[in-house]
Amino acid sequence: MSRIHSRPVFVSERITPEPGYFDIALLARGEPAVPKAFVWRNQRFDVARTLGSKRTMGEDRGDAYIRRHYYDVETTDALRMSLYFERNPSDRAKRKAWWLYTLTFPEPVIETPRLLMRRWTFADRDAFRCMTQDPDVMRFIHENVPLSDREADSALASTIERYEQLGFGDWAIIERDSGAIIGESGLGMLEGTDEIEIGWMLLPSHWRKGVAFEAADAVKEYAERTLRLLRLTALTQPDNVRSIVLAGRLGMRKTGRLIHRGHEMLKFEILFSDASQA
């Protein structure tokens, strides 16, 4: 399967730099300091590194000639962003404006015929909220109720943090044809153990199409072939028939019951071929 490369998404919207968060090294060289933190669409982004910069002279707007300073940056949630600073040399007293020109989402970690799976980013906040605030999606997850905006944002932040902590995590499922985020599947540490857990969730409009299996099966293959794991665990509530069937389709066998976060859960497990040699 050919590798899909993420393409820049044109934005061209104003951003608001956070006071006090600027690249001091650039200031020392007499250049406009790129913001180290800024707000876009009511979401804060932190710049991890500046990858490059350039200057261009813009259009003649009547008697104003605009100079732009572009910066290619990477944020702490692995977004590539092109920011620019617009300066009018004829009016240096005018307040300078920062803009987000384009953004590029992280490359897919996993690809299937119908799906791409990549890291979540803070730019996906609305899609993450949509998923975790759907009553049908959350019926057997969390406390079996939708998350509030604050809870969803906290869960998204924790998901993003785990990529650096573990080297893997829960990935957004993207439909190739539409480019829309339609769910999540991935890997995490089973709380209180050293076991790796596989999980999945999907928007109801994509149920009964084999999408959840396609995503979870690809995650299982990634765990075995790329991460070289010896086994995977899955937990599901006893009345979550869809997940029980899916675990079986993945080749997982039920190994018992346990109490997890106050809920009775069925535990499933799969051993990979190398496990017999461990």
Which pair of structure tokens corresponds to residue 204?
Answer: 């109801």
Report whether 133 contacts 147 (CB < 8 A): yes
Quote the CA–CA distance of 58 and 165 in Å, as a whole number.
43
The total of other beta-carbon atoms located within 10 Å of residue 137's CB is 20
Quote the CA–CA distance of 260 and 235 in Å, as a whole number.
9
Q: How far is CA 185 from the centre of its chain?
A: 11
The total of other beta-carbon atoms located within 10 Å of residue 161's CB is 13
pLDDT at position 6 is 80
pLDDT at position 85 is 84
pLDDT at position 34 is 82
pLDDT at position 268 is 98
pLDDT in tens, 128-163: 999 999 999 999 987 889 999 999 999 999 999 999
As a dihedral over the C-alpha atoms of residue 90, residue 94, residue 95, residue 98, rounded to 10 degrees, the angle is -30
**Measured CA distances, 74 to 47, 83, 135 (Å):** 6, 10, 35
Quote the CA–CA distance of 143 and 158 in Å, as a whole number.
17
Residues of the chain under the 50 pLDDT cut? 1-2, 27-28, 63, 276-278
Report whether 257 contacts 274 (CB < 8 A): no
What is the dotted CATH code of the domain comprising 110-277?
Answer: 3.40.630.30
The bridge status of strand 181-189 relative to strand 196-202 is antiparallel
Residues 6+ apart with CB under 8 A from 218: 110, 111, 112, 115, 117, 185
**43 closest CA partner among 155, 124, 158:** 124
DSSP-derived secondary structure for the chain = -PPP---PEEEEEEEEEPTT-B-HHHHHTTSPPPBSEEEETTEEEEEEEEEEEEEEEEEEETTEEEEEEEEEEEETTS-EEEEEEEE-TT-TTSPPEEEEEEEEPPPPSEE-SSEEEE---GGGHHHHHHHHT-TTGGGGSTTSSPPPHHHHHHHHHHHHHHHHHHS--EEEEEETTT--EEEEEEEEEPTTSS-EEEEEEE-GGGTTTTHHHHHHHHHHHHHHHTS--SEEEEEE-TT-HHHHHHHHHTT-EEEEEEEETTEEEEEEEEE-GGGGG-
pLDDT in tens, 224-257: 999 999 999 999 999 999 999 999 999 999 999 9
Quote the CA–CA distance of 134 and 183 in Å, as a whole number.
11
pLDDT at position 97 is 81
Q: What are the residue ranges spanned by the domains of the chain?
A: 9-104, 110-277
pLDDT at position 22 is 61
